[in-house]
Amino acid sequence: MDGWLQNLIESRRLGHGLEGTFYTDDTIYQLDIERVWRRGWLFAGHSCEVANPGDYFTLVVGGESILVLRDDRNQINAFHNVCSHRGTVLCDASKGTVGKIVCPYHQWTYDRAGALIACRGMQEVDHAELSLGKIYCKVVEGMIYVNLSQNPMAFEDASDLIGSIAKPQMLDQAKVAKIVNYQVEANWKIVWENNRECYHCNVNHPQYIKANFDHYNSDDTSPAVKKRIDSISARNQEKWNAAGLAATHHETGMTVFPDIERNQWYSANRTVLVDGYVSETMDGKQVAPLMGEYADSDVGTIRIRTMPNFWNHSSCDHSVSTRLLPLGPRQTLVTVYWLVAATAVEGEDYSLEELMPFWQLTSEQDWELCERVQRGVASSGYKPGPFSTAKEYNVDSFVRWYLGQLQIEGAEGVNTGL
């Protein structure tokens, strides 16, 4: 590793934040792309976005355009979104439907499985060698993951855990009610650091704290609060166990993630809500038909997180997914998805005015905070402060996970310029 980077990493005081360089520097950003984003399993989108053969969507990761497409065998594949002839980008739209994929430059044509089927005026070429470049792609309970590495890390353990927790929600049989894109003027790491603590929740998230216990920690969980959560857990446990929906996190505070000791970049659990709340909505009431296998609204919430770009909260009646994509050292594209049961009809079974505000407000409150942090860490007056051991343990874990990724050398195509 280059001495400059090693010295920068080693200069971090234990239990403190990162130097401002990590959030503003172009070279660090390129290292992030190569050593984090090109290695990790990235949440791309939901399978219901490509419900029928020929449906596709695109995304861009560090300059890499990715095409996610359902083929005629009903399989979802991911390809480099470039023609095998001269490298022309094939699909410019963010989503659409194709019969065949036709390059706009010279009309090379590919079928929906990525095979080259026509290349006008060049019949002597080996079609088999010129199919679209495939990208590793996995689908777990309706969540599509892609990996840009030539030798991706194992996905099976993550798939098993996420799949077991998410299965009753049946996201593979959901539909998108709404998608909102945000260009957040903050580094992707700042967005994650914000997500990994609820120290800021009491003042900044008045809706969220009414529904959840995350904002209580070891330093402020009173006997009364402990009694409340224990009572809710005990009351629900018998019913949830019988339905195969046992809570796996029923304590105050946020679950540990990322888990450095276990080297886990993925996490999933079911957690209890505050008494009187069956959904993460403004008043805690169910606002859409039950999703998946649920026969009762009292099922708590599913929480799923995967580094470096995804988290999801799923209530009995809807799911909200958040996807991060880096746009530069100081910008992140955040996409928030609201999903409901596939049979739910807007205007009859649900309204966006009731479905969206809880997470729309919580998200937008966070983006404003992240942008304030970005402006601050760019200041010459910024010095990394200490983390609260009671409330910011996950931020410390995130920072240690991230620095560990930077120190894994040998990523394919790395050109640090250092």
Average pLDDT of every residue of the chain: 92
CA-angle at 149, arms to 104 and 135, nearest 5°:
40
> What pLDDT was estimated at residue 247?
64
Does the pLDDT value for residue 252 go beyond 50? yes
Per-residue pLDDT tens over the stretch 363-393 = 999 999 999 999 999 999 999 999 999 999 9
Range name among 41-50, 233-242, 272-281, 383-392 with the lowest pLDDT average: 233-242
Single pTM value for the model: 0.94
| pLDDT above 90 (res 148) | yes
* HSE-CB of 65 using CA atoms within 13 angstroms: 16
Query: In Å, how far are 70, 81, 86, 344, 398 from 48, measured between CA atoms?
Result: 10, 20, 32, 14, 31
Q: Which residue has the tokens 């890499």?
A: 64
The pLDDT of residue 112: 98
Of the chain, the percentage scoring pLDDT greater than 70 comes to 95
- Mean pLDDT for 160-168 is 96
Sign of CA dihedral 91, 93, 94, 98: negative
pLDDT value of residue 246 = 65
Q: What is the mean pLDDT of residues 255-266?
A: 88
What the block records as the tokens of 351 is: 């309204």
pLDDT at position 404: 94
Q: Which two tokens stand for residue 324?
A: 């991060």
pLDDT for the residue numbered 413: 38
* Whether the Cβ atoms of residue 343 and residue 350 lie closer than 8 Å to each other: no
> What pLDDT shows up at residue 416?
30
> Which band of pLDDT confidence, cut at 50, 70 and 90, is reported for residue 412?
very low
Per-residue pLDDT, 121:
86
- Alpha-carbon radius of gyration of the chain: 22
Over residues 338-361, the mean pLDDT reads: 98
Q: What secondary structure, in 3-state letters, does the chain show?
A: CCHHHHHHHHCCCCCECCCCHHHHCHHHHHHHHHHHHCCCCEEEEEHHHHCCCCEEEEEEECCEEEEEEECCCCCEEEEECECCCCCCECCCCCEEECCCEECCCCCCEECCCCCEEECCCCCCCCHHHHCCCEEEEEEECCEEEEECCCCCCCCHHHHHHHHHHHHHHCHHHEEEEEEEEEEECCCHHHHHHHHCCCCCHHHHCCCHHHHCCCCCCCCCCCHHHHHHHHHHHHHHHHHHHHCCCCCCECCCCCCCCCECCCCECEEEEEECCCCCCCCCCCCCCCCCCCCCCCCCCCCCEEEEEECCCEEEEECCCCEEEEEEEEEECCEEEEEEEEEEECCCCECCCECHHHHCHHHHHHHHHHHHHHHHHHHHHCCCCCCCCECCCCCCHHHHHHHHHHHHHHCCCCCCCCCCCC
Please tell me the predicted confidence (pLDDT) of residue 220.
Answer: 75
Q: What is the pLDDT of residue 249?
A: 64
The reported pLDDT for the residue numbered 92 is 95
Provide the 10 A C-beta neighbour count for residue 211.
Answer: 24
Query: Does the N-terminal peptide bond of residue 329 adopt cis geometry, omega within 30 degrees of 0?
Result: no
How many CA atoms lie within 13 Å of 57's alpha carbon, on the beta-carbon side? 13
Report the C-alpha gap between 234 and 37 in whole angstroms: 41
388 CB burial (10 A radius; 0-12, 13-18, 19+)? middle
| Per-residue CA distances from 177 to 59, 105, 319, 364 (Å) | 20, 35, 10, 18
pLDDT tens per residue, range 42-95: 999 999 999 999 999 999 999 999 999 999 999 999 999 999 999 999 999 999
Structure tokens at 304: 């799923």
**For the residues 200-224, what does the mean pLDDT come to?**
86
pLDDT at residue 409, as a whole number = 74
CA angle 121, 127, 130 (to 5 degrees): 100
pLDDT confidence band for 250 (50 / 70 / 90): low
- pLDDT-based confidence at 418, cuts 50/70/90? very low
Burial class (CB in 10 A: 0-12, 13-18, 19+), 243: middle
pLDDT at 411: 47
State the pLDDT at residue 197: 96
Residue 418 C-beta-side C-alpha neighbours within 13 Å? 17
C-beta separation of 115 from 13 below 8 A: no
Q: If pLDDT is split at 50, 70 and 90, which confidence band does 414 have?
A: very low
Tell me the mean pLDDT in the region 210-227: 79
pLDDT at 417: 29
Does the pLDDT of residue 216 top 90, yes or no? no
* pLDDT per position as a tens digit, 290-328: 999 999 999 999 999 999 999 999 999 999 999 999 999
Which value, to the nearest 10 degrees, does the dihedral of the CA atoms of residues 52, 54, 59, 62 take?
Answer: 140
